[in-house]
Structure 1
Amino acid sequence: MATTLQQLLDDLAEQAGAPAPAAAIEDVTGALSHLGRALTGLTDDGLTPTASARQSTSTELADACATAGRLWPTTGGPLTDLAGAAADLIGRDRVSMGRAHRWAVTVELAEVADRCARLGRRLLPESAAPELAFVRMIAAAVERDAQIDPPNAEGAAVLDRLVPMPRPPSGETAVTALDASAALVAALDRAGQAGNLALRDFRAGVAAAEITCRYAAFTTGRAGGDAGPLLVTGLAWQLAGRASTVFHDGQREEAGDRRGVVAWAQALVGALRHEVEADAGTTARRDGSEPVDVAAAAQRVTGQLPALGGKLIVAVGRWSRTGRLYANARDLPPMENMPLDRVSAVIAGRQVRASGTDLDRLRLAVGRAADLSTGLTHVLACAASPATASQRPLPSAPERLLDRAHAAALSLAAVRSGPDAARGVLPAPPDL
């Protein structure tokens, strides 16, 4: 089953803060060692554009966790394993993180480091291991900074990116929408790094994003929520797909890779159709918990759209540099000082290689859809019921949670729900 960085850190904090923990001190310091490794990578990449108190404090916390992690030999354990998995995930995603992402992850790591250091102090005599007390002191300083300047919506979204399962898609219903959405982003990442993302893959990703928004709008409206932001975001993805129809890359249709973008996009749509339509066909309900649960699952899938949008924006940028796409010259945006060969192509209606500003409309459409998707993640989190909300209150940072909720309420607040969502009409998604 797919998981997220936030879930890993939540599990680590829960086990470290248990009333009767069974962890050994070696397990605690092993976890702190991994947290220090993750923090070192984040601070090396930079939390602020220039030297600042935030940067120095976070660097000091990374050093303090690393120092505490060397107090005892690493013997493994549940805390060490969870912290190691989280650190590995952070290291893998560092290449795609900006400063806002790094700050959001640093704040969460500081809170978990505080929990682990507190547990270590409980396991030792009062005067032993002052390094653990120092970790708690520096972690508190980071959290105080987070109360004053909390992570923004774009930065916090990185915590909810799903980690895909290892097996390829199949026709079995065991492939859930969450698993498929995580694997789709990973497939886009693989194709992008290899430089072989085809236009068909691009369109499959865009179509999957649109269909995800439409299903999430249906489930949200059926559960009594505001589906308007989801409908608008789905429309933005639809426009991005239409903007791509101007181009072609000259590649013929071939049998799809079972681990490729198209296969995982189809798996995502199939899983959403199965889960949502199965729920819509259920009439015997004792309370409203079931539609709310399905809406929450669909919204979690929607939370992966910012990462998907980022991969597609990178693809458009690469195409604009390489000139891999072709289009009818008449369908491309007008140019200042148009070269004579382009003028001739426009007059004759010929195909030309598209590059540079020729892809501006597509880049703008994908960027708009990605921005709306980023805003969705916090609008939906703010609107979630207490039973389905995944936010975990942090006793040491109430102001930070209030600031996050306020920012989420402002995002897309003017958008109202559409008529189809209000009536509970199930969307009929197009085929990929």
Structure 2
Amino acid sequence: MATTLRQLLGDLSDRASIRPAAATIEDVSGALAHLGRALSGVAEDGLTLGDSYRQRNATALAAAVATAGRLWPHSGGPLTDLAGAAADLIGRDRSVMGRSHRWAATVEVAEVADHCARLGRRLLPEAAAPELDVVRHSAATIEHDAQADPPTAAASVGLDRLVPLPGPPSGEAEVTVLDAVAGLLAALDRAQRADDLTLRDFRAAVAAAELTSRYAAVAAGMTGRDAGPLLVAGLAWQLAGRASMVFHDGRQREPGDRRGVVSSSQALVRALRTEVGSPADIGEQHGQQTSADVAAAVQQVAGHMPVLADRLTMAVERWSRTGQLFANARDLPRMEAMPEDRIQAVIAGRHVRASGADLNRLRNVVGRAADLSTGLTDALHRASGTEPVAQRHRTDRRDRGAKVPGEAERLLSRAHAVDRDRMGIRVFHGPRQIPPSR
């Protein structure tokens, strides 16, 4: 089953908190060494602009945890293994992390380091290893800062990014919804690291996001909530797909990759249809399922929609910087001081390289769809009376990514903005088709 960084850190924290009978100081030290590695990388990349109070605290915590991790030889163990896997995930995502994402990771790892240091203190004589006390003091400083300025839900998306396990030997038939969305996120990450995300990939992922949003809205409606306003998230993603049609990247259609973004998007839609049914007739095709069953199945993927939205937002930002897209000059936004060559291109109807403000509309509609998807996800969890899948194992801990009451409604109330932009787009009752990958 797929897992997330937050789940790994939560499991590590839970194990350290209950003080397993077989716990050893060597295992605790090994876990701290890996956590120190993760914190050092994040602090090195920077949490703020310049030498701020937060940056100094994060650097001090990284140094304290790394020092405690060198006190004993590492013999391995469950704590070491979990911390190593978590540190590897953070290291792999460093290239796509922004400062807000690094702050969210620091807050989460600081709490886990505090639990490990506390366990180490209980395993040793009172006066031994004062380095563990330094770790706890530094972690408390981060905790105090996080209480005053907690990471936002958008900044915490990296913590909930699913990590897929290898697919079953028999093929795609056994792929679950959770594994399918993990595969799509992993495919997006691979394409973005290789700077090989095409517009076709982008549109396929947007179509998957639209369909998932529609499923989530229908599932929320089955629990008694008015699904009408919630359908706006799917409409917003549809608008994002339409907005992308202005552009092209000059790349010819390539043979499908079974682990690529297009194939992974199709696999997600197939998994939803297999486990839930079509959005138009969920109750008819799967009459044996209760509304709670349907909501639970949809929640598995809807809970990670903000992560998917974050990846698509990053793609637009990258295209804005690199100028990899092209468009007819007449279809691009107006410019206050349009250069002469652009004026000539508009008159002649020529295609030009798009960058910067040329992608503002696409950037805005993707950002709006991302906000609405976050609100839809929260509304679905509230309607079904459950918490996100990634948080279920930590019911006794404060969710730093939780939004204040009413934020979902605030986000969804922005539907009128989408209505102004939709330019005649109508809501389809049937599912969209993702382009074939052949």
The interval holding the TM-score normalised by the smaller chain is 0.7 to 0.9
Deviation at 1:367, TM superposition (A): 3.0
The secondary structure found in structure 2 opposite 1:93 is: helix
Counterpart position of 2:177: 177
Q: Distance in 1 between matches of 2:347 and 2:233?
A: 37
1:340/1:222 Cα in 2 relative to 1: closer, same or farther (>3 Å)? same
Whether 1:115 aligns to 2:118 is no
The secondary structure found in structure 1 opposite 2:155 is: helix
Structure 1 gap segments, 5+ residues each: 417-424
Counterpart position of 1:45: 45
Whether 1:307 aligns to 2:306 is no
User: Conserved in 1, the CA contact under 8 Å of 2:183 and 2:264?
Assistant: yes
Deviation at 1:150, TM superposition (A): 1.5
Q: Bigger CA drift: 354-363 or 214-223?
A: 354-363
Deviation at 1:167, TM superposition (A): 4.2
1:135-182 per-residue CA deviation (whole Å, 9 max, x = no partner) reads 222222221222222212211222111123344998533222222222
User: Conserved in 1, the CA contact under 8 Å of 2:47 and 2:54?
Assistant: yes
Counterpart position of 1:429: 431
Deviation at 1:186, TM superposition (A): 2.7
Q: Bigger CA drift: 9-18 or 351-360?
A: 351-360
Q: Bigger CA drift: 241-250 or 70-79?
A: 241-250
1:377-418 per-residue CA deviation (whole Å, 9 max, x = no partner) reads 5555565624766253566xx6x76974447456426369xx
Q: Bigger CA drift: 305-314 or 224-233?
A: 224-233
1:187/1:122 Cα in 2 relative to 1: closer, same or farther (>3 Å)? same
1:387/1:258 Cα in 2 relative to 1: closer, same or farther (>3 Å)? closer
The number of residues matched between the two structures is 416
1:85/1:353 Cα in 2 relative to 1: closer, same or farther (>3 Å)? same
User: Conserved in 1, the CA contact under 8 Å of 2:276 and 2:294?
Assistant: no
1:203/1:20 Cα in 2 relative to 1: closer, same or farther (>3 Å)? closer
Of all paired residues, the percent bearing the same amino acid is 56
1:339/1:102 Cα in 2 relative to 1: closer, same or farther (>3 Å)? closer
Whether 1:282 aligns to 2:311 is no
Q: Say which of 296, 299, 317 aligns to 2:320.
A: 317
Q: Bigger CA drift: 332-341 or 115-124?
A: 332-341
1:340-379 per-residue CA deviation (whole Å, 9 max, x = no partner) reads 776666566x552342344433333223323433555555
The secondary structure found in structure 2 opposite 1:325 is: strand
Q: Bigger CA drift: 257-266 or 362-371?
A: 362-371
Q: Distance in 2 between matches of 1:45 and 1:114?
A: 22
Q: Distance in 2 between matches of 1:426 and 1:153?
A: 30
1:381/1:125 Cα in 2 relative to 1: closer, same or farther (>3 Å)? farther
User: Conserved in 2, the CA contact under 8 Å of 1:65 and 1:135?
Assistant: yes
Counterpart position of 2:294: 291
Q: Bigger CA drift: 288-297 or 236-245?
A: 288-297
Q: Distance in 1 between matches of 2:3 and 2:318?
A: 26
Q: Distance in 2 between matches of 1:388 and 1:360?
A: 32
Q: Distance in 2 between matches of 1:377 and 1:96?
A: 23
Deviation at 1:241, TM superposition (A): 0.9
**Structure 2 length-normalised TM:** 0.83
1:276/1:121 Cα in 2 relative to 1: closer, same or farther (>3 Å)? same
Q: Bigger CA drift: 205-214 or 185-194?
A: 185-194
Counterpart position of 2:424: none
The letter of the residue matching 1:428 is: G
Structure 2 gap segments, 5+ residues each: 416-426
1:118/1:347 Cα in 2 relative to 1: closer, same or farther (>3 Å)? closer
Deviation at 1:242, TM superposition (A): 0.9
Whether 1:246 aligns to 2:246 is yes
User: Conserved in 1, the CA contact under 8 Å of 2:305 and 2:374?
Assistant: no
User: Conserved in 2, the CA contact under 8 Å of 1:29 and 1:69?
Assistant: yes
Whether 1:86 aligns to 2:98 is no
Counterpart position of 1:422: none
The letter of the residue matching 1:79 is: L
Q: Bigger CA drift: 115-124 or 247-256?
A: 247-256
1:144/1:378 Cα in 2 relative to 1: closer, same or farther (>3 Å)? farther
Q: Distance in 1 between matches of 2:263 and 2:126?
A: 57
Q: Bigger CA drift: 224-233 or 121-130?
A: 224-233
1:8-38 per-residue CA deviation (whole Å, 9 max, x = no partner) reads 0111111111254422111111001111111
The letter of the residue matching 1:129 is: A
Q: Distance in 2 between matches of 1:37 and 1:316?
A: 32
Counterpart position of 2:98: 98
Counterpart position of 2:201: 201
Deviation at 1:332, TM superposition (A): 3.7
The letter of the residue matching 1:143 is: E
Q: Distance in 2 between matches of 1:343 and 1:50?
A: 41
The letter of the residue matching 2:316 is: I
1:250/1:96 Cα in 2 relative to 1: closer, same or farther (>3 Å)? closer
Q: Distance in 2 between matches of 1:65 and 1:337?
A: 53
Q: Distance in 2 between matches of 1:169 and 1:231?
A: 37
The secondary structure found in structure 2 opposite 1:76 is: coil
The letter of the residue matching 2:299 is: A
**Structure 1 length-normalised TM:** 0.84
User: Conserved in 1, the CA contact under 8 Å of 2:376 and 2:408?
Assistant: no
The secondary structure found in structure 2 opposite 1:10 is: helix
Q: Distance in 2 between matches of 1:72 and 1:318?
A: 47
1:96/1:382 Cα in 2 relative to 1: closer, same or farther (>3 Å)? farther
Whether 1:146 aligns to 2:149 is no
Deviation at 1:291, TM superposition (A): 3.0
